Structure 1
Amino acid sequence: MKYLQDLDWRYAAKRMNGQAVPVAKLENIKEAIRLAPSSLGLQPYSIIVVEDAALREALSPAIFHQPQVKEGSALIIFAAWKDITEEQVDAYLANIAATRNIPVEGLGDFRKMILGAVSGKTPEQIFQWNARQAYIALGYATAAAAFEQVDSTPMEGFSPEAVNRILSLEEKGLSAVAVLALGFRDAEKDNMARAPKVRRPSKALFTHYENELATA
C-alpha cells in the first residue's frame, strides 16, 4: 500500500533546500484541499497560496522566522471565515444547484437547516467551528503532499494578527488559523530527516469497543 509508505516517509521538515515545487504537484495538492470534506459541505474558509519570495520574506517575522517559510517553495495559509452569513449560505446553495442542475428553490429546507445550525451561536463559537473545518483541509493537504513526495510543515507557531494584517485578511472576514510550508527537505541541515518516525503503538492508540464489551 504505497500511500502508507508515503505517510511514513513524510515528517514535518525543519529545513528545506529552496527547490521549487513543480506546478503539477502544487495543483494536485490544491485539488486535494478543494475535495476535503467539511460539515454541511460549506467549506467555511479560504486558502491563500503564497509563492512569491518577497511576500514570504515579509511573512517570516509573523511566523517567528521559521526557516521553512523562506527556504520552502510555497506557503498555504488556511484562513477561517469569522462568520457565516446568509449571503455565504446562498452562494453555497447556488453552487449546489448549478453543479447538480437542480432548482435552487428546492434547497429551501437545507437552507433553513444550515442557518438554524448557526443561529444563536456567538461569533467566537462560529469561528472555532469554521476553524475546525479548515483543519480537515489541512490534513488533506499534508497527506496529498506526501503522496506527491513533496515535503510539508504544518505550523501553528505564528501570529494570526500579524499574518492577517500583512495579507489584509480581516477586511475579508477571515483569520489565519494554520500555515503549511511546502518544499523539499534539506537532509544535510535537518537532523530529523533520517530519524525514525515516532508514533504511539496501535494497541495504545486504538480501542475497539466491541472487544472491550465482550470481555467486560
Structure 2
Amino acid sequence: MALLEDLKWRAAIKIFDADKKVSDEQLNDLLAAARLAPSSGGLQPYRIIVVTDPAVRAKLREVGYNQAQITDASALIIFAAETKVDEQLVATFIDNVATTRGVDRASLAGFEGMVNGSIKSRTEAENIAWAQKQAYISVGVLTAAAADLKIDACSMEGFSVDGFNEVLGLTEKGLTASVAVAVGYRSDADVYSKAAKVRKPEDQLFIRI
C-alpha cells in the first residue's frame, strides 16, 4: 500500500526551507483533500483559513510562541471550529444537501430533526469541542494527502488561541482557531526528518477482540 510508505516518509517538520514553495496547484490539491474529509453528519462545522501573507504570518508567529514554522513554511493552514453550532448551521447544510443531490428539501426533514436533536442535547462548550474533533479529521486527511505529494506538514496546537482569533478576526465570524498546519518542504537542517519514527509496538497499541 503506497500510503504506508508515504506515512513512513513523513515527519513533523520543525525547520522548513523558506525558499522552497508549494505550487498553487499542489496547495489546491491539499485543500481539495481536506474538503473531502468525512465529518459527523457531513456538517463540516469548521472553516479552513489559508494564510500566505507574510505580514499576517509574522503577527501569528508573535502569538505562536515564536515558532519558525509559522513564517518559514510555504503556507499556514488554520482549522477554525464553528462556535455557533445551531439550527441555522444545520439548515444551511440541509439546503446544500437538497441542492447538491437534487432532492426535495422536505424529504430531509427527518434527518434535519435528528441532527438538530443531537446538537440540542449538548451544551455550547460540548458542541464547540465536537466541532474541533471534526476539524481534526480533516487535518488527518490533509496530512496524508501532503505525504502522498511529498509535501511536508507540521500540525501545531502551540499557539495562543485568543491571539490567533484576534489576528485573523475569527471571533466576529463565529469561529475559534483549533489547530494550524504548516506545509512546505523540509530543510536539510531539520533533525526530525532524519530520526527514526517512534510509535507504540503493535501489541501495546492494538486490541483485537
Give the TM bin, normalised by the shorter chain: over 0.9
Q: Please give the residue correspondences for 1:33-48 in structure 2 after superposition, counting only pairs within 5 Å.
A: 33-48=34-49
The alignment of Structure 1 onto Structure 2 pairs a total of residues equal to 208
Q: Name 2:192's counterpart in structure 1.
A: 192
Structure 1 residue 21: deviation in Å?
A: 0.5
Residue 64, structure 1, aligned to residue 65, structure 2: yes
Residue 143, structure 1, aligned to residue 126, structure 2: no
- Report the identity percentage: 42
Structure 1 residue 92: deviation in Å?
A: 0.5
Alignment partners' CA distance in 2, 1:186 and 1:15: 6
Q: Name 2:204's counterpart in structure 1.
A: 204
Summarize deviations over 1:122-175 as a string: whole Å, max 9, x none.
Answer: 110110011110111111111111111100100010010000001110001100
Letter in 1 for 2:117: G
Q: What TM-score comes out, normalization by structure 1 length? A: 0.94
What is the DSSP-based 3-state SS (H/G/I as helix, E as strand, rest coil) of the residue aligned with 1:140? helix
Q: Please give the residue correspondences for 1:125-204 in structure 2 after superposition, counting only pairs within 5 Å.
A: 125-187=126-188, 189-204=189-204
Structure 1 residue 120: deviation in Å?
A: 3.8
Letter in 1 for 2:49: I
What is the DSSP-based 3-state SS (H/G/I as helix, E as strand, rest coil) of the residue aligned with 1:177? strand
Alignment partners' CA distance in 2, 1:94 and 1:191: 49
Larger Rg: 1
Summarize deviations over 1:35-86 as a string: whole Å, max 9, x none.
Answer: 0001010000000000111111111011111111111010110000112122
Letter in 2 for 1:70: T
Alignment partners' CA distance in 2, 1:205 and 1:121: 31
Alignment partners' CA distance in 2, 1:120 and 1:91: 20
Q: What TM-score comes out, normalization by structure 2 length? A: 0.97
What is the DSSP-based 3-state SS (H/G/I as helix, E as strand, rest coil) of the residue aligned with 2:140? helix
Structure 1 residue 200: deviation in Å?
A: 1.2
Gaps of 5+ in 1: 210-216
Alignment partners' CA distance in 2, 1:195 and 1:126: 38
Letter in 2 for 1:140: V
Q: Name 2:17's counterpart in structure 1.
A: 17
